Amino acid sequence: MSRRRRFEIEIAESEEELKKRLQTANLGNQKEKLIMLWWIKSGQVKEQQEIGKRLARDTSTVTRWLQKYRTNGLSGLLEIKKAPGAKQKIDNAAIAALLEELKMGKGFASYGAIVEWLKQEHGQDIEYATVYALVRYRLGAKLKVPRPQSYKQDEKLVSEFKKNSVSYSIV
């Protein structure tokens, strides 16, 4: 017969407080941890193995959660850590300059031209896909290059055509 260590932990929060927190919790992981504390506080569970079985978690996970609660309290147990993510490839000064350049109106002929501009003006060698994603999705900008027009075109006739032409819509 295996001999189990005594399961002793003091839960500082009241049953009611844990129940309220459980109702407002919106993340599954937090709910599991709050349920665990509520079961312990209300005396529904007496052993760590029972908590593990009820939550379908390994006892080492339950032990880790309880240790975190002992050292950092409820806020430490429910804390969600976020990975820092990748380092930004284009610095903020270059992004600001690019945004100004895009707003000026003359624009760029292609995303490849932006890659070259970043290399020459800011000394940053950035991949095409990164530049495309930045300009198109993050900055929400489009390359502004007007369509070529004939220098022989009469402006008066063009505006007259636009005014008098009928536009059809397909319903």
The rounded distance, in Å, linking the Cα atoms of 38 and 40 is 5
Q: How far apart (Å, rounded) are the C-alpha atoms in residues 98 and 106?
A: 12
User: How many Å apart are CA 76 and CA 70, to the nearest integer?
Assistant: 9
- What is the model's pLDDT at position 167? 66
Burial tier of 25 (Cβ tally within 10 Å: 0-12, 13-18, 19+): middle
Instruction: Write down the pTM of the prediction.
Output: 0.48
The pLDDT assigned to 1 comes to 46
Structure tokens at 144: 């502004």
Task: Please tell me the predicted confidence (pLDDT) of residue 132.
Answer: 92
pLDDT tens for each residue of the chain, 171 residues long: 455 555 677 777 887 888 888 778 777 788 888 888 888 888 888 888 888 898 898 989 988 988 888 888 888 888 887 888 888 888 888 988 888 888 876 778 889 999 999 999 889 999 999 999 998 888 888 776 666 778 888 888 878 887 877 766 565
Quick one: which of 84, 104, 89, 81 has its CA closest to 138? Answer: 89
